[in-house]
Structure 1
Amino acid sequence: MKNLGTIIGVILAIVIAWWLVNVLFGVIYFVVKVIIVLFVAVLVFFALRGLLARSSD
């Protein structure tokens, strides 16, 4: 009975670890994506600002 508890504990630990790693990578992916979007948005903003400033002169 002790061996069965150990086996179940190991399987449970693997399942929990697998889930935690998936959540962690999902959060990291989301944060990196948001940073890239913000960077591109700043570039586009300054590009549009420069084009509109030139066209109004």
Structure 2
Amino acid sequence: MNKGTVWTILAVVAAIAIAWILVELLAGLLVFIVKVLLVAVVAVIVYFVIRAVFARSARE
């Protein structure tokens, strides 16, 4: 095995390791963004439900 082959194998291993880490980070970030969006949607729904309940009880 010559020196070029060893460096090629090391470069491939490094590329796979870096790609793995980047995919993990991006997946975690994507999950976080989806959770934040879901929380925002649920919060808006709950806000309007609470507002409707208090508006109904204020009329009575």
TM-score, normalization by structure 2: 0.91
Number of residue pairs aligned between Structure 1 and Structure 2: 57
Moved runs in structure 1, 4+ residues, more than 6 A?
A: none
CA RMSD of aligned residues (A): 0.6
Segments of 5+ residues of structure 1 without an aligned counterpart are: none
Equivalent in the alignment of 1:7: 9
TM-score, with structure 1 as normaliser? 0.95
Q: Which runs of 5+ in 2 are unaligned?
A: none
Identity %: 46
> d(CA) in 1 for partners of 2:40 and 2:7?
49
Q: Which has the larger radius of gyration?
A: 2
